Amino acid sequence: MKLTAKEQERLTVFTAAEIARRRKERGVPLNHPEAVAYISDWCIERGRDGQSVAEIRSGASQLLGREDVMEGVPEMIDMIQVEPVFPDGTKLVTVHDPIRSDSVGTAEAESEETAADGGEGDQS
């Protein structure tokens, strides 16, 4: 199997994100690379699902709180940029201040609710 540099990078992000997901499930605080991979992978997958840049940007900033990461990590990550593949092409998604103390896990819960109601979600 021959992979392009971009495909190899995507697999690296996925692998690091998978480790981060498992550690987060066990309550282990994430380090810098794990937190970046966790958020980046989430963004990439939502782009592939067809969510808008605005939806991804909003949801990504709610994935991790200070209690989910090691001390000092929030200060190290002021911005994450990824280029997900959307149904209409690749777009740049920039997430500012991706780790917040007041917004833990709500994006995942909203995604699960949207999937459960057939993708309708709150249209307000």
Q: Residue 82 — left, alpha, or beta (φ > 0 → left; ψ -120 to 50 → alpha)?
A: beta
pLDDT tens, position by position, 13-40: 999 999 999 999 999 999 999 999 999 9
Q: Write down the pTM of the prediction.
A: 0.80
pLDDT tens, position by position, 51-106: 999 999 999 999 999 999 999 999 999 999 999 999 999 999 999 999 987 644 54
Residue from 67, 76, 42, 72 nearest 57 by CA: 42
What is the CATH topology of the domain spanning 5-101? Urease; subunit A (3.30.280)
Q: Which residues contact 68 (CB under 8 A, 6 or more apart)?
A: 24, 29, 30, 35, 99, 104
CA dist 50 and 84 (Å) reads 10
